[in-house]
Amino acid sequence: MSKRQPLVVGLALAAFAAAAAAQTARAQQAAPAESPNAAARRWFEDAKFGMFVHWGVYSLLGKGEWVMNNDKIPIAEYRKLPPQFNPTRFDAEEWVKLARSAGVRYITITTKHHDGFCMYDSKLTDYDVVDASPYGEDPVKALADACHKHGVKLFFYYSLLDWHHPDYFPLGRTGHHSGREAKGDWAKYVAYYQGQVRELCTNYGEIGGLWFDGWWDAPDAAWDLEGTYKIIHDLQPGALAGNNHHVAPFPGEDFQMFEQDLPGENSAGFNKAEAADKLPLETCLTMNGSWGYNANDHAYKSTEALVHALVGAAGRGANLLLNVGPKPDGTIPAEAAERLLDLGRWLEANGKAVYGTRKGPIPPQPWGVTTARPAAEGHSPTIYLHVLKADVKEVVIPEALTTSVALPLGGKTPLKKEITPDGLKLTIPDDARAPYDTIIAVDVPVPTPDPVPLRR
């Protein structure tokens, strides 16, 4: 442990103690009425795990969702795709059942990606799956119905950036090879996209929220995001608005997302925004290296890496939104389905230390992360230590936790404790080790002890 870390831990534990005390005090009062928005945010933070779906006419080419831009396909050429889109094997029930088996609590699906093609039935354009494909049905409607039936929330991904719409002008940083005319009325484009947001908030029953992307293509444009968020909150008071703009959250946004990085990390290069203090967080991640179906990308992450992503996100107070890219026929690639089922089995046994938790009072450590379940009726606060490194045999936690009981998840024998100059050392016996993540539940007595600064 570095010299600086113990102090940080002591302070975080103080916050945890204060929160636990506040929770106890709240439990003794009548519960104040919670707004639909606050309830939705709390639900979202409890949910922890979602399934992202990137599906569009680009899937036909099997080269990811950026193929129009990357291969410089003009609109006139790209327009030949919708007449070929006929996902005869698409079964919304099967997708949702798979999602449920994986342990996900919500699905976020692309309703329109940067290519501008709408995967739902829009009255504002003919460039949509019902009007322009032989399939002729609305897969988003089928998915919404299946989600409602099986108790999975549905979020809509919507690209603000549009490489096809004639009024998306002036062009932004991308989509310069579409061959469209160099003119357009931006205000008309805003009216178009806000009209589509209205459709999405009106035609599919209760939704979890809207997930915007592509703002970064034209960061100086007049998007009227405040107006957009108002439409969402007026039409669906329990829906959350989020925007993948890679900068600090704007007013009206209900959660903050990070793409291909956990909050606080920036391997992608554009995750420079700090995690907002008060907003729920979400990290979206590809399962291989692609969002949309990529026939040549077999570089799938291992189940262990995916468990570590889920737990790593939870330990940083974030959900994991894990992506699949269905094939053009509507089926989910076998490699992806296998991993989802692995995660489901793992969560079946270990979900207690993930669902409904918040980031733990001990920040990410070289050995792993912590999550926490605040005190509630019938149980004292619990801190879960997720030991993600297989070769770690002991962990040191703040000495203030000395009176706690530390049990491996599902085990019966408390861990050996020893006070050391660095803090309270817990020794992990070999028979307490679990695959991917050795979880130790630290039951903190109530009242939570005052944090004692760690000795140096």
Q: Smallest distance, Å, CB 172 to ligand H79? A: 8
Q: Which is nearer to ligand H79, 174 or 196 (CB)?
A: 174
- Report the alpha-carbon distance of residue 385 to residue 408 in Å, rounded: 9
Place of tokens 């929220």: 209
Q: Which is nearer to ligand H79, 133 or 243 (CB)?
A: 243
- Report the alpha-carbon distance of residue 178 to residue 208 in Å, rounded: 33
Q: Which is nearer to ligand H79, 306 or 383 (CB)?
A: 306
Q: Which is nearer to ligand H79, 16 or 291 (CB)?
A: 291
Q: How far is CA 259 from CA 32, 151, 254, 270, 315, in A?
A: 35, 26, 17, 8, 17
Q: Smallest distance, Å, CB 323 to ligand H79? A: 8
Q: Smallest distance, Å, CB 118 to ligand H79? A: 15
Q: Which is nearer to ligand H79, 174 or 194 (CB)?
A: 174
Contacts of 38 (CB under 8 A, 6+ apart): none
Q: Which is nearer to ligand H79, 106 or 346 (CB)?
A: 106
Query: For binding to ligand H79 (CB under 6 A), which residues are involved?
Result: 65-66, 173-174, 213, 216, 259, 270, 284, 291
Q: Smallest distance, Å, CB 321 to ligand H79? A: 9
Q: Which two tokens stand for residue 392?
A: 């770690």
Q: Smallest distance, Å, CB 112 to ligand H79? A: 11
Cβ atoms < 10 Å from Cβ of 289: 13
Q: Smallest distance, Å, CB 245 to ligand H79? A: 9
Q: How far is CA 445 from CA 6, 146, 337, 396, in A?
A: 21, 43, 41, 19
**The residue count for the chain:** 456
Q: Which is nearer to ligand H79, 66 or 169 (CB)?
A: 66
Q: Smallest distance, Å, CB 171 to ligand H79? A: 12
Q: How far is CA 334 from CA 226, 327, 439, in A?
A: 41, 10, 29
Q: How far is CA 163 from CA 92, 111, 129, 181, in A?
A: 28, 15, 17, 12
